Amino acid sequence: MISRSARLKWDSSTNVVVDGNSITVYGFPLLLYGQEPVSTSGASTHECGVGGQTWRNMDGLDGGSSADVDAAYVAGKRNVLVAWETTNQAAGGGTAQSIADSCAQYIANRRALHPDWIVMVLTSLPRYSTGNPALTQRLIDVDDIMRRAWRSMGIDYLFDTRRMVPTLGFSGFSAADFQATQSYWNETSDWLHPTMDGHALITRQVASALRALPAKTRNR
Give the 3-state secondary structure of residue 30: helix
pLDDT at 107: 98
156-210 pLDDT per residue, tens: 999 999 999 998 888 767 778 888 888 999 987 778 899 999 999 999 999 999 9
The residues, ordered by sequence, that sit 6+ positions from 24 with a Cβ below 8 Å of its Cβ are 18, 47, 49, 84
Of 141, 149, 97, the closest CA to residue 121 belongs to 149
Locate the domains of the chain by residue range: 14-211
- Kindly report the average pLDDT of the chain as a whole number: 91
Q: Please, what is the Cα angle at 160 between 9 and 124, to 5 degrees?
A: 120
What average pLDDT does this structure show over 123-149? 91
% of the chain residues with pLDDT over 70? 94
pTM for this one?
0.94
14-211 classified as CATH 3.40.50.1110? yes
pLDDT at 217 over 70: no
CA dist 139 and 89 (Å) reads 9
**For 2-34, how does the pLDDT look when each residue is reduced to its tens digit (9 = 90+)?**
444 578 889 999 999 999 999 999 899 999 999
The pLDDT, as a whole number, for residue 220 is 40
Nearest to 81 by CA among 102, 107, 100: 107
The CA-to-CA distance between both ends of the chain, in Å, stands at 19
Beta-sheet strands, E only, within the chain = 14-20, 44-47, 78-84, 118-122, 157-159
Q: Is 19 helix (H, G, I), strand (E, B) or coil?
A: strand
User: How do residues 59-99 score in pLDDT, each as one tens digit?
Assistant: 999 999 999 999 999 999 999 999 999 999 999 998 999 99
